[in-house]
Amino acid sequence: MPTEPDRHEIRIEVKESDIDMMGHVNNVVFLRWVQEAATAHWFTAASPTDQEALLWVVLRHEIDYKHPALLEDEIVAQTWVGTASRRAFERHTELSRASDGRLLARARTLWCPIDAKTGKPTDVSADVRARFSVA
């Protein structure tokens, strides 16, 4: 039976520039946080060689907004890997308020590995596949 993949966590402080005309964090900012969590995980878990050789581009974002984030909030972003096909790697992210753990948004993103030299989609090593996907 497969085990749940490890979660990578970052903490984010809401900035005044994140707030929109409605007085809460704009939905585009939530999307930026999803990307920041994924990038932080990549730079924490990937080898320096893989970081130099591979870039990632988004193929698809799905995000469900559950509750607003406000200026005084600290956000906890947790991300973990999902399944992968040859060149589409699934990643999940949850954004919660640190003070009470309330889920604010949940996202699913598909990422494609890009060869840093050619700028084209590429296959990844067995190590990258093992670290950044589940069976």
Condensed to tens digits (0 to 9), the pLDDT of residues 117-126 reads 999 999 999 9
Residue 45 near residue 132 (C-beta atoms within 8 A): yes
Q: Looking at residue 135, what is its pLDDT?
A: 78
Q: What angle do CA 10, 18, 81 make, to 5 degrees?
A: 30
Question: What's the CATH fold of domain 8-131?
Answer: Thiol Ester Dehydrase; Chain A (3.10.129)
Kindly report the length of the chain: 135
Tokens of 128: 């990258």
Rg (CA), the chain: 16
DSSP code string of 15-81: PGGGB-TTSSB-HHHHHHHHHHHHHHHHHHHS-HHHHHHEEEEEEEEEEEE-S---TT-EEEEEEEE
Q: Three-class SS of residue 114?
A: strand
Give the tens place of pLDDT for each residue, 48-99: 999 999 999 999 999 999 999 999 999 999 999 999 999 999 999 999 999 9
Please tell me the pTM assigned to this model.
Answer: 0.93
**Beta-carbon contacts of residue 35 (< 8 Å; ≥ 6 apart):** 58
**What are the boundaries of each domain within the chain?**
8-131
Q: How confident is the model at residue 3 (pLDDT cuts 50, 70, 90)?
A: low
Q: Other CB atoms closer than 10 Å to residue 78's CB: what's the count? A: 15
